[in-house]
Every structure is written in C-alpha cells, then in structure tokens.
Amino acid sequence: MHLAGGIVTGIGTIFLFLGGLGVFRLPDVYNRLQAGTKCTTLGAFLTIIGVGIMEPSWFWKTLLIGIFILLTNPISNHALGRASCKSGVPLCKKSVVNKSKDFCKGETK
C-alpha cells in the first residue's frame, strides 16, 4: 500500500515539475496556459490522491481536495485565457491561424 501510494505521488510530482518547465519554456501566453493547466491539474490530483493512498484514514478528504482542484483549475485558467484574449496579447511567430477577430464580430462561416 505504501509503495503504490509512493509511486502515484512520484508520478504526480514529476508532472508538477513538467508544468513549471512548460510555463518557463513555451513561447507565448496561450501555450503557457496549456502546460500550466494540463500538467498541474493531473500532477496535483495524483500527488494528493497518492498521499491519500499512503494514509488510508485520510483518503476521503484527499479525494475531496482532488476533485475540487479538478473542477476549479480549468475554470480559473479559462478566465485568464479569456482575459488575455480580450486584452489583445499577440500570438507567437510560429502561429498558423488566428480567428479571434471573426469570432468577436460573430462571423462563423
């Protein structure tokens, strides 16, 4: 039981590190949001659930914290992405298509 929880926690911490690395390395704010959302959501969830597996009497409360993170982290990152889209942060040079202007005017053809 202790070993299984340790392995789950270890995978979670590696994903947390990858999230930090992605926020540092990727070129513009939208790509950083991708790394910052996905890696930290799964990383934090696995770390917390792993602690719950290692200490079985804590399991239900850690599950509650994990589900809370799984529900709220995409929402807060979506709010940040929408704010940077509305305030006009440009995309990086590698980008191939940008349809946000059509979207604001309501043209969806």
Partner 1 sequence: MKFKSFLYLFILLILIWLTLTSTFHLQELTVGILVSFILALSLTENYIDLGLPALSAKKIMFFIFYIVILFKEIIMANLDVAYRILHPKMPIKPGIVIIRTGLKSDIAKMVLANSITLTPGTFTLDILGDNLLIHWINVKAENIDEATKIIGEKFEKYLRVIFG
Partner 2 sequence: MNIFFLVFIGLGIILCLLRMIKGPTTPDRAVAVDTISTITTALLVFLGFIFKRYIYLDVSLVYAVLTFIGVIAIARYLEKGI
Establish if 94 lies at the interface with partner 1 (CB under 8 A). Answer: yes
| 92 and 27 Cβ atoms separated by less than 8 Å | yes
3-state secondary structure (DSSP) of residue 91 = coil
The single residue among 75, 107, 108, 109 that binds partner 2, judged by CB under 8 A, is: 75
CB 43 within 8 A of CB 16: yes
Identified binder of partner 1 from the candidate list 5, 22, 52, 66, rule CB under 8 A: 22
95 binds partner 1 (CB under 8 A): yes
Give helix 29-54 / helix 2-25 axis angle, nearest 10°: 170
Among residues 70 and 109, whose Cβ is nearest to partner 2? 70
Kindly state whether residue 28 participates in binding partner 1, applying the rule CB under 8 A: yes
